Structure formats: C-alpha cells, structure tokens
A and B are shown apart, each in its own frame.
Chain A
Amino acid sequence: MHMATTLTINGETKSFDAPPEMPLLWVLRDILGMTGTKFGCGIAQCGACTVHVDGKAVRSCVLPVSAVENRAITTIEAVGNTPSGAKVQKAWLEAEVIQCGYCQSGQIMSAAALLASTPKPDDSDIDAAMAGNICRCGTYVRIREAIKQAANGRQS
C-alpha cells in the first residue's frame, strides 16, 4: 500500500495511489487515463513525454511523482488554454507540421514553454529548446517554421 498522492494537473486536483518514485508519465497514462502524453524512450532522450511543471518543459518519464506534489502540472490536453500553447497549436496546423503525430504532444509542449519564456526566439533558441525532442518522421523543418509563425502571430 502506498499513501495517496495528490497532484494538480491542468488546474484540477487528482488523488491516486502510486509509489513515490513512479514517473509522472505512467501516472498520467496508466492511472489517470490521460494518454495525450506519450512514451518514447523512458530515459529522457526523446521528449515524447514532455509536460509543463510550473510552466517549464520537463520529461515526465524520469520525473518521480513525489517531486511534483504542490506544483502546477500542464499536459497536452490543456496546453491550448495557455496563450503560448494556443498559438503553437494554431501555427502547427497552419504549417501542417504533423505526420504520424506521435512525437507532437512533446514537440508542442516544448515549443509552448519556449514561447512563454522567449516570445521571439531565434534559430539558436529554437535549437536549444527543441533538440531534446526527436521526430522520427522528420518534421523538423516545419517545426522551426511553425515556431516562428507562432512567435510572429502570422497566419502562414
């Protein structure tokens, strides 16, 4: 038996039983049924599992739940409620970034965190913020273009 853990996810309070060292990724997916956050590698190499903790992009596959109690967690399901998240989602569709889409929850979370902290990122800001997110379909050219569109509020 574990003690109940309480987290604040997308503004809602969620309580559940889980071992303290259990990564947030599996709590989201397998306990709470929030499958928008993806599993790609489990070792912080691919970024598919990216969520926001207090507005910062973090890899939930290596983030123990015990470390995020009392922190504000945002996932792909609600990132559209933040100004930068909404801009990124819109730009992603305008630029038709997505192919299989499996990496894109993580890409969007990383891009939204970037724009929240750096509203006008240059190429090296984009490289630094996005290099941790692998896209096996190779959508990088459009990711870069869409981030710039989102930053400039342009509509392609």
Chain B
Amino acid sequence: MNAHNNVSRRALLTGGLATGFLLAFHLPLRAAVNEPVQPEDKTDGKFAPNAFIRIDPEGATTLVMPQVEMGQGIYTAISMILAEELDADWSKVQLLHAPANEKLYGNPIFIIQATGGSTSVRAFWKPLREAGASARAMLVQAAAAQWGVDPASCTTSKGEVTHKASGRTVSYGALAAAAAGQTPPKTPALKDPKDFVYIGQPFKRLDTPDKVNGKAVYGIDAIVPDMKFATLAQCPVFGGKVGKVDDRAAKKIPGVRKIVVLDDLVAVVGDHMWAAKKGLDALDIEWNEGPNAKINSKAIWDDLRAASAKDGVVAKSTGDIAKGLASGENFEASFELPFLAHATMEPLNATVHCKPDSCEIWTGTQIMARVQSEAAKAAGLPVEKVIVNNHLLGGGFGRKLEPDMVVAAVRIAKQVDGPVKVVWTREEDIQHDVYRPVYRDTIAASLSGGKIVGWKYKITGAAIIARWLPPAFQKGIDIDAIDSATDVPYEIPNVHVEYVRAEPPAIPTGFWRGVGPNNNVFAVECFIDELARKAGKDPVEFRRGMLANQPRFLSVLNLAAEKANWGQPLPARVGRGVCLQPSFGSFIATVVEAEVDEQGEINLRRATSVVDTGIAVNPDTIVAQVEGGLIFGLTAALYGEITIEKGRVQQSNFNDYRMLRINQTPKIEVHVVKSGEAPGGIGETGTTAGPPALRNAIYAATGVALRRLPIDRKLLAAGRKA
C-alpha cells in the first residue's frame, strides 16, 4: 500500500543509526538445536556503528534484520543491500532477528515495526544502503589513519580495506576496534548502481539450508524447559462468551493438567498437544452466543450492497465525470469479493512464560513492537518487562500483523505456573481468523471511438487502516482500500473514484496478502476486458491504446503478450486472459491460459508474468515470489470463500477451505525486466495478478463474464451464458 503518501514520515535514519548499547534478544538463525535462552546482542568489543551491523575482531559480520522472514526471502535481500554498501565478505555474514524496538527497527513507511504491504525493500532501501556505506566509510577512515594515507586513496572489497599504492590490505575484523572510534560521515557516499557486485545477482538464500533438514526453528518449535502445552477454543460465534463449562470428563484424560476458563475462551493445558486436544474435545462448554448468533452471509451481502448504493468519499476526481459519462455509450458492472482466511501453513501459536514481574514470549510475528506492547497490557506489566523472541514465520500473509494469538496466549499463561506453548488447531485458526473483508465495487464507464472517456469507480468495504494504523486514516479514506484504484495505468480523460466505508458486523477483518490492490485490480482489469469486448477490440490491443504515455507498463504488457503467445490459436474452451497492474510500486503484466471443461471445472494450463520492479535486489527471489503469489491468488479465485451462518464460520480445515495442489499447478514463467529505477515491492504482486488474469481467460474461453469470486462452476458449465 502506498501509506507514505498520507503518513508523515519519521526520519528512520536518526533512530536507525543510533549507536550505543542495544538490548536485544534473538535466536541465532543457524542454531543447530532449540535454544531456550536467547543470547543478547552484545555489541561490546565489536564495531557496531548502527542498529544493523556488528563486526567482531575475527571479522564475523552480524546483520540485524529489521524485517521478518516469512518466506519472502527478505533476510537475504536485506543482507545483500547492507553487504553491498559495506563491501562485506558474504561468507562471513550471519543474521539476527531484530528485537522489539520501534525506534531502531520501525518500518519507515508504516512508522511502526511491521513487515507487510510489500514494503520491505522499498522502505529500507535507502536507510540500509546508508547504514552500510556509513560503516564502510568508518572502516576506511580507521585504515587510512593507521597507514597515514588519504582515505580517498583506499578501496574496499569483500571485508578488506586496500591501499593499492603501498600494497597494504587490512581486514574489517582487524579494524573493528579502531573503526568504532571513528566519526560517521554526515552523508555517506552511496555506490553507483553500475558498481554493484551483490545487488542484482541471483544469490542463494541464507535461510534455506536449515529448512531442508528440520533445523530451522519457527515459533511453534520453541522449546522452553518444563513447558506445558495448551490448545484453546474461543466462542464459535464472534463476540460470544463462555457460559458453563463441565470439565469432569476432560480432567480424567491422562496428561491433562489444567483447564483455563476465561470470559471468552477455554484452554486445556497438558503434557503435550495431544492431551490438550483430547481434553478440549472432552469439555462440555455452553457458550453465551450473544447477539451475533443471528449474523449470516446473506445479511452481510445485503448490507454491503445497500451501502454500495450510497455516495462515498471522493478519493480522486479528474476531468469532468458527468461530461465524460455523457459523451459515450455507457456500461456498468459490479464486482464482489468474499471473506478469506489466511491459513498460514504454521498454525497460530505463542509460547509464554508469565512470572509476577516479567513475561517472556516465543513466537513468529510481523509486528514485534506491537506484540510486545499488547502482551504487556494483557500481562499487566510495563512494556520493558516483556521480552519477545521472534522466530522464522511459517507464512504470514498479513495474519501475523495482528497480536491476538499472542494476547490470548499471555492471558492463558497468566493462569499457568511455568511456561506454556499455546497452539491453535487448524480449525480454530480458520474459524477465528482476522479475515480479508468482503468488498463490492461498482464501475460505470463510457466508450467513445473505441476508447474509455469516462470512468466512475466506487469501492465499498471495511477500512482496515482505520483500526490498524489510525493516523493514516484521514478524511474518511482508507488509503489501502483505494490502492490501485486511484492510479490505474490507463489514460482516461474523466475519472472519478469514491470510497464507502462499510464494516461487516462482528466479523474481524484485516490485511491479507495483496491487501487493497487484490480487490481493485480484480474489478478494474475484469471490467477493462468487458469494455474491450464492447469496443470490439482484442484485450491487449485495447489496453495498449491507453498506454501511450506509460512506457514501463507498455513494455511489460508487450513482452507478456509475446512470451505467452498472445493471439495464437487455442483449442475450444481454452482462453488467455491478461492483467496489468500498478500495485506496490512495480509494473507487472500477467497472462493466464486456462481451459474450462463441460462441467465448468478449470484446468490451469499456463501463467506468464513480466515484472518490472526497478532494481531487482535478488532476481531469483523476485521470480519465486511472483510464482508463489500467483498460486496464492489462483487458489483464492478457484476456492477461497469464508461463509458465515448463525454467527459462525462454516469452513474449518483444508478439506473445506481448499488449497491449490501440485497436480493443479500450471506451468509458470516469470520474466524480470532489467531496470535501473528504484526498487518496487514484490511479495504480493502475483497474488493480485492471478485472479483477474484467470477470470479474463475464462471470459475468453466461454464468453461468461464472472463478476464474483470464487469462480462459480455452475455458471461455466457448457451452454450457460451470463
């Protein structure tokens, strides 16, 4: 999301480059065994010029990761950026998870210490380069002083300073003590991108070797001596409370140690997850379901449709929309997207040890500092008495931008002597998610001479930003909800965009991979295809005609069409669909080729994406993120829907909340365009691209213009027309 447009940016640099002792707790990434007690990030005896870099006298170069690793490869990208400007020896690089510290590790786009919105490289590109360059300059100054030469006559490479003229070389490790005494330069000189030696190379990821042998430690793998295991049940109806609990049968189950009954949840603590699970199953819980027991999907959709008939807050208006709509033939459509669960592969969990005067937490989160402060509230302790040990995340996708799983674990742990690991069952994870909200988008457009002359677009849906980052919610506009709606790539003379805030009752909603653009790119790109057909034009040709002043969009679109064999004949009931998107600061065109069988089942044949994301820090990771993002988005298009009946989520596990599997996966090709522009975001782009490209392929194959997700096979069975 483009939060930086509306949020005043705090200068990260001041905080991020502060020197001094840093109280930090972390898991060494390459720990061969579970480490129950985290070593501190001791900076004494090391060259520690800022929050991100520590070099010890042996040359070991420890980089502290301000963003979390949840599969997107960011630990490697961040390290490459730091190592590039530092001219570090890559073989000596080690990584640490950053501790909770908003001042040192806050994301410059969100201000808070959060990883999400495909912002990591965009937000940290400059501060990390400056951190690396500044440290490098101090090492050079130290060497030059030792040799009595001009710093400008020294060069650096792979963790060494060299003075060519005198043939002298010294390692960074040997300079660590002397460099610590140097004054950092006011404005460190950054490399010319043509001199990059690491950035732009396809580097092997630093986090993957321990992921092939079971050694990688995720939050759910934390082992704390003498810990117990717990699992929980929250009221199946959102907002409901615990009534009566009969625990007689549960207490008889071997290994069950304690039943914790709180006002809104019940947990069973045992010697292992199996005892906890069996114990929970054996409880007889009467819930006070409360007023939300009447909520159902139909009523939610009725409300949303009614809300979308109202006028919204104007998010953008250029030209004269009334005139624009009056000056051509008019077309209208509305698009609807369902609630979605995240279903991170690692079920929600947190291990907590609450003592009277402190609380220690082991988990994997996208929001370190917020988890710390929310846990402190739940524990009734000052923030500094709460230690959060972050871990690798088994997927995040926005679910771990929320602190609820940690807060619940702290509340349970307060009732338990000693540490307790609280693990959610998959059923609890699906039924108590913070869901991607339902959206409805209406579009009215006019066509004249084969071009769009008026475009009136209205988004109706929840304002996640208003809850999650209140200072960024201004004038009634959710900057995430309108992302990719106010900046469509096409040249249209009269554009009007409105936003209607509509919160579904009682259903918690939050960020989901692809955030606002998921909704907007879908509606925009689907409707563009419908307009192309009205104009009697090929969808790629129609888009090209509106991109004369958008060279980056035009070039990815042309290359995608070429690589996907756009326009070449296909068998019956097979179609190609295109999607062009402006999201997350990247320029991406995608073509999906799919077959629709007589029963309306979809066979994904091929997906091709062309990506211009500016400077590609680690190109192979970019390819991987788009591949995986496409699968994530296509999964949602084919299957994703959370429905509500009697105030409860009806889905529960992978049997009824389905995932795409390897046998359904198409061939995927991702082409990364070489570029010298500033880096864009990438982690969510494929997710945004998949659904509209697939829907447009189905439109091409069948003539059926689907306007809701997930795809309704019944509408696609042979012979049906929309």
Interface centre among B34, B212, B630, B653 (most CB of A within 10 A): B212
Say whether A35 contacts B221, CB under 8 Å.
yes
Interface membership of chain A positions 25-65, coded 1 if the CB is closer than 8 angstroms to chain B and 0 otherwise = 01101110111111111110110100000000000000000
Residues of B within 8 A of A142 (CB): 624, 627
Say whether A93 contacts B347, CB under 8 Å.
no
Say whether B345 contacts A103, CB under 8 Å.
yes
Binding site for B on A (CB under 8 A): 1-2, 18-19, 22-23, 26-27, 29-31, 33-43, 45-46, 48, 75-77, 79-80, 89, 92-93, 96, 98-105, 108, 126-128, 130-144
The answer to whether residues A100 and B662 also contact, given A30-B273, A41-B653, A45-B653 and a CB cut-off of 8 A, is: no
B667 interfacial by beta-carbon distance below 8 Å: yes
Interface membership of chain B positions 549-589, coded 1 if the CB is closer than 8 angstroms to chain A and 0 otherwise = 00000000000000000000000000000000000000000
Say whether A45 contacts B628, CB under 8 Å.
no
18 contacts between A and B (CB under 8 A): A22-B274, A29-B272, A29-B273, A40-B346, A41-B426, A96-B208, A100-B346, A100-B395, A104-B211, A128-B663, A131-B663, A132-B661, A135-B662, A136-B345, A137-B628, A138-B630, A140-B660, A140-B661
Say whether B345 contacts A40, CB under 8 Å.
yes
CB-nearest residue of chain B to A90: B212
The answer to whether residues A136 and B273 also contact, given A19-B254, A131-B661 and a CB cut-off of 8 A, is: no
B291 interfacial by beta-carbon distance below 8 Å: no
Interface centre among B208, B277, B397 (most CB of A within 10 A): B208
CB-nearest residue of chain A to B654: A45
Nearest chain A CB to B420 CB, angstrom units: 12
Other A-B pairs, 9, CB within 8 Å; known A99-B624, A100-B394:
A37-B214, A42-B426, A42-B653, A76-B214, A80-B213, A89-B213, A98-B208, A99-B628, A102-B345
* Segment touching A, from B2-10, B68-76, B97-105: B68-76
B668 interfacial by beta-carbon distance below 8 Å: yes
Q: Which of B73, B207, B212, B426 contacts A40 (CB 8 A)?
A: B426
The answer to whether residues A101 and B394 also contact, given A137-B71, A138-B631 and a CB cut-off of 8 A, is: yes
Say whether B345 contacts A100, CB under 8 Å.
yes
Residues of B within 8 A of A23 (CB): 274
| Contacts of B291-330 to chain A: CB distance below 8 A | none
Residues of A within 8 A of B162 (CB): none
Say whether A136 contacts B214, CB under 8 Å.
no
B620 interfacial by beta-carbon distance below 8 Å: yes
Say whether B34 contacts A38, CB under 8 Å.
no
Nearest chain B CB to A112 CB, angstrom units: 11
Q: Which of A36, A42, A102 contacts B425 (CB 8 A)?
A: A42
B511 interfacial by beta-carbon distance below 8 Å: no
Nearest chain A CB to B670 CB, angstrom units: 9
Q: Which of A96, A127, A138 contacts B620 (CB 8 A)?
A: A96
B694 interfacial by beta-carbon distance below 8 Å: no
Q: Give A80 to B211 CA distance when docked, in angstroms.
A: 12
CB-nearest residue of chain A to B687: A138
B423 interfacial by beta-carbon distance below 8 Å: yes
Nearest chain A CB to B592 CB, angstrom units: 14
Say whether A131 contacts B208, CB under 8 Å.
no
Q: Which of B213, B277, B395, B668 contacts A137 (CB 8 A)?
A: B395
Interface membership of chain B positions 398-430, coded 1 if the CB is closer than 8 angstroms to chain A and 0 otherwise = 000000000000000000000000010110000
Say whether A102 contacts B395, CB under 8 Å.
yes
Say whether B214 contacts A98, CB under 8 Å.
no
B368 interfacial by beta-carbon distance below 8 Å: no
Binding site for A on B (CB under 8 A): 34, 70-73, 204-205, 207-209, 211-218, 220-221, 223, 229, 254-255, 271-274, 277, 343-347, 392-397, 423, 425-426, 620, 624-625, 627-632, 635, 653-655, 659-663, 665, 667-668
Residues of A within 8 A of B221 (CB): 29, 35
A-B contact count (CB 8 A): 187
Q: Which of B273, B392, B659 contacts A100 (CB 8 A)?
A: B392
Residues of B within 8 A of A126 (CB): 662
The answer to whether residues A102 and B214 also contact, given A38-B394, A39-B273, A133-B662 and a CB cut-off of 8 A, is: no
Say whether A131 contacts B345, CB under 8 Å.
no
Interface centre among B277, B620, B631 (most CB of A within 10 A): B631
Say whether A35 contacts B71, CB under 8 Å.
no
Residues of B within 8 A of A39 (CB): 220, 273, 347, 423
Q: Which of B220, B271, B346, B662 contacts A144 (CB 8 A)?
A: B662
Residues of B within 8 A of A98 (CB): 71, 205, 208, 211-212
CB-based closest 3 A-B pairs: A36-B214, A138-B631, A102-B394
Q: Give A155 to B154 CA distance when docked, in angstroms.
A: 39
Q: Give A29 to B70 CA distance when docked, in angstroms.
A: 21
Nearest chain B CB to A25 CB, angstrom units: 8
Say whether A134 contacts B345, CB under 8 Å.
yes
CB-nearest residue of chain A to B204: A96
CB-nearest residue of chain B to A75: B214
Q: Which of B73, B218, B277 contacts A99 (CB 8 A)?
A: B73
Residues of A within 8 A of B254 (CB): 1-2, 19
Q: Give A39 to B653 CA distance when docked, in angstroms.
A: 13
Residues of B within 8 A of A134 (CB): 345, 654, 659, 661
Say whether B70 contacts A140, CB under 8 Å.
no
Say whether B627 contacts A136, CB under 8 Å.
no
Nearest chain A CB to B611 CB, angstrom units: 15
Interface centre among B72, B214, B624, B627 (most CB of A within 10 A): B214
Q: Give A132 to B277 CA distance when docked, in angstroms.
A: 24
Say whether B631 contacts A140, CB under 8 Å.
yes
Q: Give A84 to B277 CA distance when docked, in angstroms.
A: 35
Say whether A45 contacts B212, CB under 8 Å.
no
The answer to whether residues A33 and B665 also contact, given A76-B214, A77-B214, A98-B205 and a CB cut-off of 8 A, is: no
Q: Give A89 to B215 CA distance when docked, in angstroms.
A: 13
Q: Give A37 to B229 CA distance when docked, in angstroms.
A: 17
Q: Give A34 to B104 CA distance when docked, in angstroms.
A: 35
Say whether A108 contacts B212, CB under 8 Å.
yes
Say whether A45 contacts B209, CB under 8 Å.
no
Nearest chain A CB to B37 CB, angstrom units: 16
Residues of A within 8 A of B345 (CB): 38, 40, 46, 48, 100, 102-103, 134-137
